[in-house]
Copies of this chain bind each other. A is one copy, B any other.
Amino acid sequence: MKIAQIAPMVERVPPKKYGGTERVVHALTEELVRNGHDVTLFASGDSITSAKLESVFPRNLRDARVKDPYGVNFWTLLNFGLAYDMQDDFDIIHDHNAPISLPAANLATTPTVVTMHGAFNAENRKLFQTLSSPHIVTISEAQSYAVPNLNHAGTVYNGLAMDEYPFSESEPEDYLLFVGRISMEKGTHLAIEAAQQLDKRLIIAAKVDKQDLAYFKEYVEPALSERIVWIGEVEEEERNQLMSKALCFLHPVTWREPFGLALIEAMACGCPVVAFNKGSIPEIIKNGDTGYVVEDVEGMIEAIQNISAIDRRECRTHALTNFSAKKMAEGYEQVYKDVLGV
């Protein structure tokens, strides 16, 4: 199949540090090329890919400090605009830029699959319901519940090259881990609360975005100590090492997260996950087997106390079986076939 993958331009594909969507697009693209497809990747010019790279700008927008990288900027418009302009070159277009690209995707004459990587809400829901030509893939079942009359092509869980993640048989070290972005939605303060109450060491390997600075200053910074340690945003390899040695991974999200990418990465490293029961979480964690799905900080504390009951090998097996890049690519290949009627 001749496939266009349209990545966001915010981060490199794959990203150096943070950047879930770009990480997933990279894994999918590599797998599709391996399966013999003719793939063109529309992404930042510093991207690393086995596919043909089409790029309108040499660097990722974050590194290039482009104003408003997540919003209306000319490189984002040009990136997906060019892909749709070249639509006749492809059997199928797979777009990861919605909702900003949806008005264009809605007019494409080449069959178009759009993965919604963000959360649906009262406003963007209407957009997806009205501009309903593209075939929408959700990244969890929970995500799709919010949108009746979605032109839903199915759910395909995010996957990554799971076997590349480190795994060790040795005993974990005695620290809890929080990874990603420091913010109210991600519940950094709740992870801190749990660690403080148990008097356990917590490592926070996470970035602070400008809009989250006030939150950081009020809820996180004052709690930092010898036991509550913030090490900033770390590169992938260091992060994976942290995951493979942590007692457990804390994910006290306060919003209906459509998918928790860091969770499958932690499990691939053999690290059990304790997460709040929101959105897609129960679809990702096998409760009691690969970690615990809890309701609040009290539940999180209890779960951490019972973490030795979780078999770290089972965590890895679960991640490799259900959230591999291979499995994700099979899912999307099936969607492409369904959409093309072949």
Contacts and interface: CB of A to CB of B under 8 A. Distances in A.
Interface of A: 56, 68, 70-72, 74-75, 77-78, 80-82, 84-85, 87, 99-104, 106-109, 123-124, 126-127, 130-131, 133
A103 B130 contact: no
7 contacts: A68-B71, A72-B72, A72-B99, A77-B100, A84-B103, A84-B107, A107-B109
Contact of A130 (B81, B102, B108, B131): B81
B71 A126 contact: no
Tell me the dominant secondary structure on chain A's binding face.
helix
A103 B99 CA distance: 13
B106 A85 contact: yes
Given A71-B72, A81-B131, A85-B106, A56 B126 contact: yes
B74 A123 contact: yes
A78 B127 contact: yes
Nearest to A83: B103
A275 to B, nearest CB: 29
A151 to B, nearest CB: 13
A103 B104 contact: yes
A72 B84 CA distance: 19
A70 B71 CA distance: 10
B126 A78 contact: yes
Contacts of A56: 126, 130
Nearest to A126: B78
Contacts of A99: 72, 74, 77
A72 to B, nearest CB: 5
A82 to B, nearest CB: 6
Nearest to A75: B123
A131 B74 contact: no
A128 to B, nearest CB: 10
B130 A106 contact: no
A235 to B, nearest CB: 30
A274 to B, nearest CB: 33
Nearest to A107: B107
A78 B108 contact: no
Contact of A103 (B68, B101, B124, B126): B101
B106 A74 contact: no
Contacts of A107: 84-85, 87, 104, 107-109
A222 B342 CA distance: 71
B126 A102 contact: no
A133 B84 CA distance: 12
Nearest to A82: B130
A77 B127 CA distance: 8
Contacts of A131: 78, 81-82, 85
Contact of A106 (B71, B72, B75, B84): B84
Contacts of A104: 103-104, 106-107
Nearest to A101: B103
A10 to B, nearest CB: 13
Given A106-B104, A108-B107, A85 B127 contact: no
A106 B107 CA distance: 9
Nearest to A129: B78
